[in-house]
Amino acid sequence: MSDIILGIESSCDDTSAAVIKDGILMSNVIASQKVHEAYGGVVPELASRVHQQNIVPVVSEALRQAGIDRHDLSAIAYTRGPGLLGSLHVGTSFAKGMAIGLNIPLIDVNHLHGHVLAHFIKETETDETPEFPYLCLLISGGNSQIVLVRSPFDMEIMGRTIDDAAGEAFDKCAKVMGLPYPGGPHIDRLASEGDASRFKFSKPHIPGYDYSFSGLKTSFLYTLRDSIKTDPDFVEKNKADLCASLQKTIIDILLAKLKPAIIESGVKDVAIGGGVSANSGVRDAIAKLCDNLGTRAWIPARKFTTDNAAMVAMAGYFKYKNKDFSDLGLPPFARTSI
């Protein structure tokens, strides 16, 4: 009999459902929420309401695209946290109800494990996957971590941000330049047209493998504030150079910790995950770094960088194989690391 896992993701503003059959991805449906654009950030209450509207059609569509009848499912994996509590409640309640209705196991998944294990999603039998142990640079809107992944169930955080995440640095700096939310993809696009050596922003000096992005954010804001005093059109005139210089500084900060972590851990495989791993500059820089160090770089397809249920189904698949099932009474959680 086949092992068929339905994955459900609702941690922030994307409602997603995916089906993995015997380790192969059969479908991955994502409904993004446009309602937040007008507010310049995700509005939690609106997010949960839209999840409620989306969850039934999204799950139905994922099953339809996979050609799977719900009665053939082996288990249901869902994101338990971290994320927005209201949003998580929608996916959690739906997953529990469906697991009870079908009398199949429920599997809770840590959203961050999903990002780290996204590299095991196979779309065809021949797709390659990383070898354990590997390092994963997990960079998203809420996290920046260097994770040593010994197995799907054994992960150690070597470094984490002590303040803002890399995605927040992108989004907050984009906001003060008047770019739409989320700003990361806009900075990525504009950076390709700019001169990255034009502006210098401050870089952190903290020990170990930890990250900090709040100093960069402050120095970016000061540059804008001081320049606007003498030229009100400063941002408009220099947007591409500002974006290119900001992106380069973020990449320099990320690599300054990742490089020694790769060398010290002695891993042969290095992966990136999370929304910021969609960034063109980050992807190029990691590929180059790995090339120089003689390690393999695992750069995910862009559709698996931002929130998606395929990674939840994948992490759930590992747990299913390990018979690691969840109690129906588990509440969602808003905050945690790996």
Task: Show the 3-state SS of 165-212.
Answer: CHHHHHHHHHHHCCCCCCCHHHHHHHHCCCCCCCCCCCCCCCCCCCEC
Which CB, 215 or 275, lies closer to ligand KG4?
A: 275
Question: How far is residue 205's CA from residue 43's CA, in Å, rounded to a whole number?
Answer: 34
- Cα 217 to Cα 116, 117, 163, 247, 287: the distances in Å are 26, 30, 11, 12, 26
Cα Rg, the chain, nearest whole Å: 20
User: Is 86 one of the binding residues for ligand KG4 (CB under 6 A)?
Assistant: no
User: Is 308 one of the binding residues for ligand KG4 (CB under 6 A)?
Assistant: no
122 forms beta bridges with 24
| Only segment of 101-109, 164-172, 221-229, 233-241 that touches ligand KG4 (CB under 6 A) | 164-172
- Provide the mask over 136-155, with x wherever binding to ligand KG4 is found by CB under 6 A and - wherever it is not: ----xxx-------------
Which CB, 68 or 313, lies closer to ligand KG4?
A: 313
- The tokens of 92 are what? 């959690």
- Provide the mask over 237-276, with x wherever binding to ligand KG4 is found by CB under 6 A and - wherever it is not: -------------------------------------xxx
User: Is 196 one of the binding residues for ligand KG4 (CB under 6 A)?
Assistant: no
Using CB atoms within 10 Å of the CB of residue 311, give its burial: 0 to 12 exposed, 13 to 18 middle, 19+ buried. buried
Which one of 108, 164, 188, 269 is in contact with ligand KG4 (CB under 6 A)?
A: 188
How many residues belong to the site for ligand KG4 (CB under 6 A)?
19
Which one of 183, 215, 316, 332 is in contact with ligand KG4 (CB under 6 A)?
A: 183
Which CB, 183 or 215, lies closer to ligand KG4?
A: 183
Question: How far is residue 134's CA from residue 120's CA, in Å, rounded to a whole number?
Answer: 12
Cβ atoms of 148 and 155 within 8 Å: the answer is: yes
Cβ atoms of 66 and 19 within 8 Å: the answer is: yes
**From the CB of 319, what's the least distance to ligand KG4, in Å?**
21
Which CB, 108 or 188, lies closer to ligand KG4?
A: 188
Q: Which residues are near ligand KG4 by CB under 6 A?
A: 12, 140-142, 167, 170-171, 182-185, 188, 274-276, 278-279, 306-307
